[in-house]
Amino acid sequence: MYNFDKIIDRENTNAMNTDGYMDYLFAGQDIEISHKKEDLVRMWVADMDFEIAPEILDAIRERLDHGILGYSKIFDPDYYKVVHAWTKRRYGWTFKREHLVSSPGVIPALYELLEYLVKADEKVLILTPSYAFFKHAVDYNHLELVKSDLIAVEGRYEIDFEDVKTKLEDPKVTMAIFCNPHNPTGRVWTEEELRQFGDLCFDNNVTLISDEIHSDLLRKEFQHIPMDKLYPDEKRLITCFAPSKTFNMAGMAISNVVIKDPEIRKIWDARHLTFENPLSVAGAKAAYEKGQDWLDGLIDYLDGNFEFLKDFLDERLPETNFKISEATYLAWVNIAPYVNEDNLTKFFAEKAGVLLEGGNMFVDNSDGYIRLNLAVPRSVLEKGLNRIYDAVK
């Protein structure tokens, strides 16, 4: 019913994916890419090359046809109802209507929350490797970053709880940003891991932001557990999630933030000055209400892409010892047995004409890895993998 094999030309749409790579991946670097721009295989920024659900497009069209796009916020109680129904059905988790606020993105929300909640001499803990914007949010707010390295046990990453404990016991560490499930390693944390991490935070009076933006993109045999489901009464826990990754609508700039502490919400309401885009609200509501079938099709397709990648690597580059990500459409591949380069992003752009994100872009504890975005038609994936193979063999 939905065609994920379709190749869609994204040139001339102001897409980061096709036009933003120079600034994002190679700022300040001396780089010579011999492939023509339109011939690059793009497997970098975390959006998808798939057309979004027709139900979402219809809802956006309908709102557009109304003809007036004035200042908007989410007043419609049905928005909460459809999000609530989604989280209840999918994760057995709900939250109160008054706890839900919105933001143009999870990243802007992180920047703001750190600004509002962390004092100048305080520190923020993240787990590494990490989505780089966690670090950027800390740096932007001139705070001190504290990193705890995940440990790869036969390619599956685990939290070093002893290290986390020691670091959280520093009274200056007052905030942790946690990625559930985890980008870039693809881990779906178990209930036991979530509890251990949560307990360590709250026992040490650390506010925890759980970034759950990838929560709908799990391999079929996994189940997402929202951190908040385990700590329903914990006011020091803030949850961020969004339709953006799930439904490929990051450009619509709308995300959900659940803030239970009324004092924090008061600060948020006083200082969070943006309005909502009325088209985004219509699209997000339709996504949660009518997007399930499309998402089921997407998950099938992504599972297939992961199998395809695994078969390819096992056969052609077996020393990568690749493990399929438990969640996300991002594959985390240890390419170190085949390439010895600090800047793998540059290496593969120049040598293979493939845009991907090398380990150097994930803060720390990520040398020798590449992150591949598998949310592309299978034919594109195959082309990219052949090019990667040719570049390293």
Ligand X SMILES: Cc1ncc(COP(=O)(O)O)c(C=O)c1O
Site residues (vs ligand X, CB under 6 A): 46, 105-107, 131, 179, 183, 211, 213, 242, 244, 250, 255
Q: Is the separation of the CB atoms in 56 and 246 below 8 Å? A: no
Q: Of 127 and 385, which CB lies nearer to ligand X in the complex structure?
A: 127
Q: What is the DSSP letter of 134?
A: H
Phi-psi region of 257 (alpha: psi -120 to 50; beta: other; left: phi over 0): beta
* Amino acid in position 51: E
Look up residue 153 and give its two tokens: 């046990």
Enter the DSSP assignment of 182. P
Q: What is residue 327's DSSP assignment?
A: B
Short-list 262, 210, 217, 266, CA closest to 240: 210
In the bound complex, what is the minimum distance in angstroms from residue 113's beta carbon to ligand X?
13
Contacts of 261 (CB under 8 A, 6+ apart): 235, 236
Nearer to ligand X, 211 or 228 (CB): 211
By beta-carbon distance, which residue lies closest to ligand X?
Answer: 105
CB of 121 to ligand X, least distance (A): 26
Beta carbon of residue 281, minimum distance to ligand X (angstroms, whole number): 15
Q: Which is nearer to ligand X, 213 or 344 (CB)?
A: 213
Under a CB-based contact definition with an 8 Å cutoff, are residues 243 and 208 in contact? Answer: no
Tokens found for residue 359: 């380990």
Q: Which is nearer to ligand X, 179 or 355 (CB)?
A: 179
Kindly tell me which of 168 and 254 has the beta carbon lying closer to ligand X.
254
Which structure tokens are listed for 54? 């027709």
Let me know: does 134 contact 156? Beta carbons within 8 Å. Answer: no
Q: What's the min distance (Å) between Cβ of 15 and ligand X? A: 14
Residue 315 beta carbon to ligand X: minimum distance, rounded to whole angstroms:
29
Q: Which is nearer to ligand X, 10 or 165 (CB)?
A: 10
CB closer to ligand X out of 73 and 266: 73
* Chain centroid to CA 235: 24
CB nearer to ligand X: give 243 or 384.
Answer: 243
Please confirm whether the linkage preceding 129 is cis (ω < 30° from 0): yes
Q: Cβ closer to ligand X: 110 or 313?
A: 110
CB 162 to ligand X: min, Å? 25
**Nearest approach, Cβ of 340 to ligand X (angstroms)?**
28
Q: Decide: helix, strand or coil at residue 72.
A: strand
Q: Kindly report the backbone phi and psi dihedral angles of residue 225, in degrees, each rounded to the nearest multiple of 5, phi listed first.
A: -115, 110
Gap between the Cα atoms of 224 and 233, Å rounded:
20
Smallest distance, Å, CB 298 to ligand X?
16
User: 3-state DSSP call for residue 237?
Assistant: strand
Distance CA 92, CA 90 (A): 6
Quickly tell me which residue has 């009518």 as its tokens.
290
Least distance to ligand X, CB of residue 1, Å: 27
